Each structure stands twice: as structure tokens, then as C-alpha cells.
């Protein structure tokens, strides 16, 4: 995986992250979703590096081989604000003060929070298979609850999900070497068989139901918007269009002057299923956003 890339352990903002980075040129930060590690990008990152980008792929705090800080009653150490702070610190330590960000699934929430909290650092934002957490919970109905019930299962504290998941992680977390690639699959399996990682991933969801929603709601009420160009992508094999219809339209109240996007023919894990199509969409977006300071 990641031929020509380096692996480092970088200090974030309260947690050390495992980081894979390589290439040269305008920097791009790739943020994975649940329950993946940074290895989910192993088919995308080399293509971006070959196209002239510096590519940085961390394991988010709580995930993979990154730190799992102690939590608190409100789960704030696993808020997307805390995760975004890690990512910003890592990018600065690697010498990147302004960069494009691409986030998938839970990583999309971290990417969004990074763009909202640190607009001076994010040149362009791509979110995949996600709308803001606050929007998802505000719009939650029976269809959402039936399809995305894992949000509420993983977010429980009195009957914690960890006990059930750790009894048979392979039965809970589906994946295969054929889909993910052999090395990426082994990295993923090491993560899901680590009880500390399972706990960290659950904490991510607990924060999502509480403090993350509060942060999003405060931004919504204040009319805070994403300052950089915004691209919204979603997999045709996922249920985003079924849940929300006009997916970019959900983002319209959050976006600035530049909002675009569309579907990609893929299953949920776009970086694994359709890497070439994804890279093509990203590069087209960055080219069209270049006058606005994007890479």
C-alpha cells in the first residue's frame, strides 16, 4: 500500500495520530469514515500524488493506531471539534498552513468542522455520503431511524455497544480483502479487534448525538457558513438521495458562493470502490475552484 509514502506518528491537539503522507505539490488532507482507518485511501492517495499533490491521510483520534484519549461525561474529547483540532495541528507540523480537505462518512463531519472552525486553513472542502450532523438529527424521521439505527445503538452509554461488538467484531463490522485490498483489510481487522479502538469509535457516535449537534446548531443559528468552495458527493449505492432528495440542497444554507457536486457510481466506500472516478471528480472541482484559492 501507499508506495512511496511515509508513516509517521504526529502530535495533534491532545492526541498523537498515525499519519501516512507522500507526494509533492498542493496539499490535500483525506479523512476516513467509520469503521475504517486511513488505509481506506490506499487506492486514491497514490493517484493524487501522481497528479501533483502532497497527500496526508491520518487515522482520526479513537480510530486505527491513533491515540484514544480518556473521555468525559459529555464525550467532548471525541467531538468533531477536537478531531479537527488534531488534523489542523498535524497539517501545520507537516508544513501545510492551507490545504484542501476531503472527508467521507464520519470524516466528513470532521472535515466540515475543520472548515467552519478554521476557515483560513481550508482552501476547498469535499464531503462524501454526509450532511451536517445537526441537520441529520434535526431532519430525523422513522426512515432515517430504521436505516441509520447504528447511530443510536453506538451512542448508548447505559447499555454500551462495546460489549456486543467485542464478542465478535468480524460479525459486526463487515468487510473483505476483495473489496478493500489485502493490506488495507488486515489494517482494518487489527483496528476492529482492539477493544480500545471499538470504544473510541463508539465515543465518536456519542459525541455526535450530543456535543457535535450543539456545535452545529450554534453555527446554524449564528448563520455561520463554509467560506471555501464546497463539493458534495454521494454514492449511488448509498441512501443519501432516498433520505434527502436534493443532497446538495441540504448543504445550501451552510455553503458560501461555491457549491457543487453529484453522485458517483459506487457503494458506500467510494475510495475503495471507485477510486478513479473519485479522483477525477476531485481534480475537476479543484481546477474549477482554483481562482478561489483551492489547489
DSSP 206-245: HHHHTHHHHHHHHHHHHT----S-EEEEEETTSSHHHHHS
The pLDDT of 191-200, averaged and rounded, is 98
Q: Which domain holds residue 170?
A: 6-292
Query: Residue 234: CB partners within 8 Å, gap ≥ 6?
Result: 128, 129, 240, 241, 247, 261, 263, 264
Residue 290, pLDDT score: 80
Are residues 191 and 64 in contact, defined by beta-carbon separation less than 8 angstroms? yes
Instruction: For residue 65, give the CATH number of its domain.
Output: 3.40.50.1820
How far is 109 from 101, CA to CA, in rounded Å?
11
Residue 293, pLDDT score: 65
Terminus-to-terminus CA distance in the chain, angstroms? 25
pLDDT at residue 122 tops 80 = yes
How far is 295 from 290, CA to CA, in rounded Å?
6
Q: Are strands 27-31 and 54-58 parallel, antiparallel or unpaired?
A: parallel
pLDDT top residue among 290 and 201: 201
pLDDT at residue 199 tops 80 = yes
Average pLDDT, the chain: 96
Residue 109, pLDDT score: 98
The confidence band for 292, taking pLDDT boundaries of 50, 70 and 90, is low
Residue 100, pLDDT score: 98
Query: Per DSSP, what are the bridge partners of residue 18?
Result: 9
- 285, containing H or E segment: helix 275-289
Q: Would you please indicate which residues are annotated as catalytic (active-site) residues? A: 105, 268
Dump pLDDT digits (tens) for 205-225: 999 999 999 999 999 999 999
- Establish if 177 belongs to a structural domain: yes
pLDDT at residue 291 tops 80 = no
Residue 85, pLDDT score: 98
**Phi and psi at residue 60, in whole multiples of 5°?**
-60, 155
SS (H, E, C) 124-161: EEEEECCCCHHHHHHCCCHHHHHHCCHHHHHCCCCCCC
Residue 64, pLDDT score: 98
The structural domain count of the chain equals 1
pLDDT at residue 289 tops 90 = no
The confidence band for 74, taking pLDDT boundaries of 50, 70 and 90, is very high
Dump pLDDT digits (tens) for 30-66: 999 999 999 999 999 999 999 999 999 999 999 999 9
Query: Residue 146: CB partners within 8 Å, gap ≥ 6?
Result: none
The pLDDT of 6-32, averaged and rounded, is 97
- Establish if 1 belongs to a structural domain: no
Amino acid at each position: 500500500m501507499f508506495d512511496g509514502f511515509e508513516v509517521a506518528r504526529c502530535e495533534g491537539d491532545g492526541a498523537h495520530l498515525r499519519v501516512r503522507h507522500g507526494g509533492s505539490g498542493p496539499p490535500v488532507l483525506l479523512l476516513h469514515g467509520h469503521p475504517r482507518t486511513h488505509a481506506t485511501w490506499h487506492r486514491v492517495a497514490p493517484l493524487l500524488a501522481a497528479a501533483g499533490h502532497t497527500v496526508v491521510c491520518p487515522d482520526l483520534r479513537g480510530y486505527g493506531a491513533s491515540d484514544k484519549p480518556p473521555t468525559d461525561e459529555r464525550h467532548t474529547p471525541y467531538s468533531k471539534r477536537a478531531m479537527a483540532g488534531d488534523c489542523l495541528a498535524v497539517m501545520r507540523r507537516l508544513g501545510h498552513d492551507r490545504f484542501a480537505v476531503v472527508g467521507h462518512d464520519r470524516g466528513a463531519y470532521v472535515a466540515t468542522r475543520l472548515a467552519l472552525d478554521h476557515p483560513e486553513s481550508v482552501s476547498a472542502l469535499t464531503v462524501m455520503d454526509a450532511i451536517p450532523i445537526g441537520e441529520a438529527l434535526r431532519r430525523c424521521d422513522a426512515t432515517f431511524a430504521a436505516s441509520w439505527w447504528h447511530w443510536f445503538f453506538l451512542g448508548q452509554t447505559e447499555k454500551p455497544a462495546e460489549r456486543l461488538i467485542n464478542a465478535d467484531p468480524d460479525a459486526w463490522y463487515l468487510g473483505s480483502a476483495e473489496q478493500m485490498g489485502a493490506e488495507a483489510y488486515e489494517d482494518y481487522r487489527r483496528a476492529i479487534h482492539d477493544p480500545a479502538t471499538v470504544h473510541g469509535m463508539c465515543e465518536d457516535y456519542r459525541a455526535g448525538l450530543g456535543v457535535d449537534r450543539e456545535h452545529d446548531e450554534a453555527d446554524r443559528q449564528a448563520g455561520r457558513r463554509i467560506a471555501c468552495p464546497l463539493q458534495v458527493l454521494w454514492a449511488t449505492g448509498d441512501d443519501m438521495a432516498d433520505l434527502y432528495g436534493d443532497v446538495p440542497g441540504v448543504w445550501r444554507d451552510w455553503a458560501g458562493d461555491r457549491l457543487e457536486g453529484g453522485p458517483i457510481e459506487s457503494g458506500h466506500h467510494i475510495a475503495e470502490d471507485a477510486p478513479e472516478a473519485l479522483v477525477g471528480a476531485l481534480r475537476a472541482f479543484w481546477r474549477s475552484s482554483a481562482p478561489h484559492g483551492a489547489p
